[in-house]
Structure 1
Amino acid sequence: MISSQYLPFFYYGFLIIVCGYAIKRGHREEYIGAAIMFAGSVATGIVARVFGTAWSHREYGILGVDLLALLALIYVMIRSDRFWPIWATAFHLLAVTIHVAMMVAPEITPWAFATGAGFWAYPMLLALAIGTNEYVRPDEINHIPSG
């Protein structure tokens, strides 16, 4: 089990690997998706440091970052012909829903709030990685083995 003090390093390592893969192997949608996820993660970290995040009350700064990322993902989802933006947007919508739950029921424990809000970043990144892997670049079409 990974100690909680190392979780940010694990997450940011995973973020960099997936976003790097999306930029190296993907196309426009993957570039934009990687940028949204990377910028959202960095902005969340900055907001948490600047405003101090105890996850024991409503986190309006992080909610603002999450809403902007959600709008950007919805834009990519609407314009894309790929499946991964649908999944990534749905996962991020769940993260935003955690903020709404905290507003409705502020007695939610800080651990549940922080875990629920942060958990959905992993499936989002996984959707981007799988979608990037499934994308066939035009220059690779002639190199696909048959049979």
Structure 2
Amino acid sequence: MLIAILFWFLCLSACAYALVLGGWEGRWTTLVVLLAALGTMAVNRWTSAHQYETFWASTNMMVLFIDAATFFAMFVIAGVSDRWWPIWVAAFQLNSVVAHFATMIDPAFSALVYQGYEGLWAIPLLLVMVLGIYRDRMWTARYGLA
């Protein structure tokens, strides 16, 4: 429970920062991150009420779909943006997508490790988003360039 509280504190803080100071990239990335987090939470709650024992025992196709759609959205943002941080954000999201393939390659892969590794990449994604926006703002203030 403490991990969930810390995640939501970090997520909402990072998204608020991106929303206010991140330009259009920050606003769109905030939307994508919040939709992905809420969608994943809804899927986890629904499945834990119905079939938790088997939910993470094999490839979680619903969360894989959410992660792949999130990566695609972040990839598009990175492709259109002239900032560097959306590329890193998309790369961290790609790691979440790739984590699902571990259970496809080895069906005996530990469910606990799979669940942890799949969600692990959200933290550096949020930190890189905040750091990237901060550095872009400092660069613009110092050199008058973007």
TM-score (norm 2): 0.87
More helix by share: 2
Please point out which of 7, 10, 23 is paired with 1:27: 23
Match of 1:6 in 2: 2
Runs of 4+ in 1 over 3 A off after TM superposition: none
Superimposed CA distance per residue, residues 4-60 of structure 1 (whole angstroms, 9 cap, x where no aligned partner)? x21111101100000001111110001111111111111100011112354222111
2:36 corresponds to 1:40: yes
* RMSD of aligned Cα (Å): 1.7
Gaps spanning 5+ residues in structure 2: where? none
Q: What are structure 1's unaligned runs of at least 5 residues?
A: none
Indicate the residue corresponding to 2:59 in structure 1. 58
Task: Give the deviation of 1:127 after TM superposition.
Answer: 1.2
* Equivalences, count: 137
- Which position in structure 2 is the counterpart of 1:131? 132
TM-aligned CA deviation for residue 136 of structure 1: 2.6
Q: When the two structures are superposed, what TM-score results if normalisation uses the length of structure 1?
A: 0.87
The superposition leaves residues 48-82 of structure 1 with CA deviations (integer Å, 9 ceiling, x where unpaired) of: 11123542221111111101101000100100111
Q: Distance in 2 between matches of 1:106 and 1:116?
A: 15
1:83 aligned partner, one-letter code: W
1:15 and 2:11 equivalent?
yes
2: CA distance between counterparts of 1:131 and 1:31? 14
SS at match of 2:33: helix
Please show how residues 83-102 of structure 1 align to structure 2 within 5 Å.
Answer: 83-102=84-103
